[in-house]
Amino acid sequence: MKTLVTAAEASRLDATVSSGWRIAPALLMEKASLGIWNLLEPLLPGLDCPEGAPLVALAGAGNNGGDALAVLRHARFTGRKALAAVLVEGRESELCALQRQSLELMGVELLRWPADRPRILGHLSKASVLVDGIAGTGLKGALREGAADLVAAANASGRPILAVDLPSGLSDDFEEGFPIVKATWTASVEPRKACLYYPAAREAAGVILAVEYVFPPDSGELRQAFLLEAPDLVGLLPRVSPAAHKGSRGRLGLFAGSLGMTGAASLAAAGARAAAVGLVNLFVDGDLYPGLAAGRGPESLLSAIVRRLPQGGTPLDLASCDALLAGPGWGRAADREALLSSLFASGLPLVVDADGLRLAARLFSRGERPLGPAILTPHPGEFEALSGLPAGKALANPAAILPKVAADLRCVIVLKSHVTWLAAPDGRLALWDGLEPSLATAGSGDVLAGLAAGFLASMARAPLAAADAQRGDLAWRAALAAVMTHGLAGRSASRKRGWYGAEAIAEEAGHMLR
C-alpha cells in the first residue's frame, strides 16, 4: 500500500524537511523540478506538434509556479530554445521570483496574464506541452478569477498538459464544479496527494507519474489514506488448508434474488465461490423455491443449498452460515426490512448491497446497527440514501465525508466508482484506482458483493479470524481483498475478451485467486 497525504500534510512535510533537516527549500525545488523534467523529456518526441513548437510554462506566483519555471530552465539546459513562460499576476514567493529572474537572464520569453492575453492564447494553441504550475498545495477553495480564466484557456487549447504535483484547481477541499486543469499527465511528488484520486477529479489528473526521492522516505509519519496496489492482495487472502473441506472453506448465507431477478443471486454466488467459499445457502421466497430447489435456475445456483424463507414469524436458522450477504436482486417487498433487521441482530459478518442498502437506510435512521462486522457496498446514489448527503459531495471529496459516515453506521463502506474508496469506522481510508470501463456492466456490483461476502465467510473460518473480528479487521480485510480482486479480474477480462458480461469477472477472479 502506498501512503497518500493531504495537501496540508505535504506542506508540513516540506517545512519539516527544510527546517528540521537543514535542507534549503531551493534544493527541494531543484530536485522536484529536475524530476519533473526527466519525466517530461521522454514524452516530447512522441507528441503530434509542429517542429519548433514552444514548451510553455503556466506559472502562478507561488512555489508551484517556481517548479514550472524551473522545468523550463532544465529544458533550456538541454538545448531547447522554443520556450515561453506565462506568469499569473500576484505576489511572488521568493523561490518563484528566483526562477523567473533566471529565465529572464537566459532570454526566455516572459508573458503576463491577463495583460498579454492575445499573445498568450497564440502560444497556447501551438505549444508542444503546457506545464501547469498555476496553483499548488496551498490553494484554499476555488481558483480566483484570473487563474480560473487561464485554466479555461489552457483546457480549450487542445494541447497536452503536464500538471506539476496537482492539476491547478485541485485541493483538499475540492468541490464539484470547481474550475480545474484537465491534465494529460500529473507529475506528482511523492508522497502523492490523496485528492488526486477524488473520483470527481480523477480524470483531470490524467496519467499520474511519480516524482521520487525529493523527500527522504522516513521523513514523516503521514497517513491520510492508502493507495492499494496489486501486490497487496496476496497478504490479504484467506489461508486455505490443503486438507480443506467445503465447510472449512466458509459457508455463506445468501439473501438475494426475487421474481425476474435470480441472475443477481447467481452472480453474487459466483463471486463468493471465486473468493474460496465452500458452501452457499440461498434463502429465497416461496414463489422461487420450487424451481430453484429442483435445479431449474442459473448454473451457478445449481450447487447452492436452496432454503425457503420462513413464514409467520418463524425465526431464521443461520447455524450453517459463517457470513451473510443481503440485497442483490432482492427487491423491497414489505417483509424485507424486518428480515434485514434480523440479519443485523444475528452478529454474523454481513455484506449489504443493492436493494438491501435502501432498506438498511431505514434501519439506520431508526438507530439500528449491525452487531457483527459489516460491509456496505453502495454506488453514489445508494450512498446518498444511506448518508443523506449529496452523492456529488462524496465523489468530490470522499476523504472528508466517508470516515464520518463509516463511524456513524459502524460499517466498512465501499463507495463504488471508477476510483473506489473504502472507509473503516476507525478512520482508516484506502482506495483502488480502477479506471477500467469494462467493469461498468450490469451485474458487476453483484459479483463484487459476492466476493466481499465470500472473503468474509472464508476468512471467518481461517486461523485468528476471531481476533481479526474483535479488532474490526475482518470486514476491512475482506473489503480490501474484494475490491482489488474485482478490479484486477476486470482488467484481465478486458485484455482477454474486450467487452464482457459480469459472469466473466467471477470467472477471471476464480482463476486469478487460485
Q: Where are the domains of the chain?
A: 2-222, 243-513
pLDDT tens digits, one per residue of 321-347: 999 999 999 998 888 999 999 999 999
Question: What pLDDT, on the 0 to 100 scale, is given for residue 88?
Answer: 95
Which of 25-29, 223-227, 493-497 is the least confident region?
223-227
Question: What pLDDT, on the 0 to 100 scale, is given for residue 133?
Answer: 97
Q: Under 8 Å CB-to-CB from 402, ≥6 apart: which residues? A: 394, 413, 415, 421, 422, 423, 429
Q: Which residue has the cell 539546459?
A: 77
Question: What pLDDT, on the 0 to 100 scale, is given for residue 21?
Answer: 81
pLDDT tens digits, one per residue of 123-141: 999 999 999 999 998 899 9
pLDDT above 70 coverage of the chain, percent: 96
Question: What pLDDT, on the 0 to 100 scale, is given for residue 341?
Answer: 96
What mean pLDDT do residues 137-155 have?
94
Which of the four pLDDT bands, split at 50, 70 and 90, describes residue 59? very high
In degrees and rounded to multiples of 5, residue 255 shows phi and psi of -110, 90
Contact 271, 449 (CB under 8 A): yes
Which of 69-73, 154-158, 277-281, 300-304 is the least confident region?
300-304
Three-state secondary structure along 90-155?
A: CCCCHHHHHHHHHHHHHCCEEEEECCCHHHHHHHHHHCCEEEEECCCCCCCCCCCHHHHHHHHHHH
- The three cell numbers locating residue 360: 438498511
Classify 243-513 by CATH class.
alpha beta
Question: What pLDDT, on the 0 to 100 scale, is given for residue 220?
Answer: 56
Instruction: Provide the residue type at 472 as one letter.
Output: G
What mean pLDDT do residues 196-213 have?
96
Question: What pLDDT, on the 0 to 100 scale, is given for residue 222?
Answer: 53
Question: What pLDDT, on the 0 to 100 scale, is given for residue 461?
Answer: 82
Mean pLDDT taken over the chain? 92
Which of 29-33, 70-74, 111-115, 242-246 is the least confident region?
242-246
Question: What pLDDT, on the 0 to 100 scale, is given for residue 297?
Answer: 72
What mean pLDDT do residues 235-264 have?
89
Q: Is the pLDDT of residue 484 over 70?
A: yes
Topology of the domain comprising 2-222: Rossmann fold (3.40.50)
pLDDT tens digits, one per residue of 284-321: 988 888 888 877 777 777 778 899 998 877 788 999 99
Which of the four pLDDT bands, split at 50, 70 and 90, describes residue 189? very high
Q: Which of 1-5, 186-190, 243-247 has the highest mean pLDDT?
A: 186-190
Kindly report whether the peptide bond that precedes residue 42 is cis, defined as omega within 30 degrees of 0: no
Question: What pLDDT, on the 0 to 100 scale, is given for residue 36?
Answer: 97
pLDDT above 90 coverage of the chain, percent: 76
Question: What pLDDT, on the 0 to 100 scale, is given for residue 404?
Answer: 96
Q: Is the pLDDT of residue 468 over 60?
A: no
- The three cell numbers locating residue 24: 534549503
Question: What pLDDT, on the 0 to 100 scale, is given for residue 394?
Answer: 94
pTM of the prediction? Answer: 0.93
CA 296, 302, 308, 309 torsion-angle sign: negative
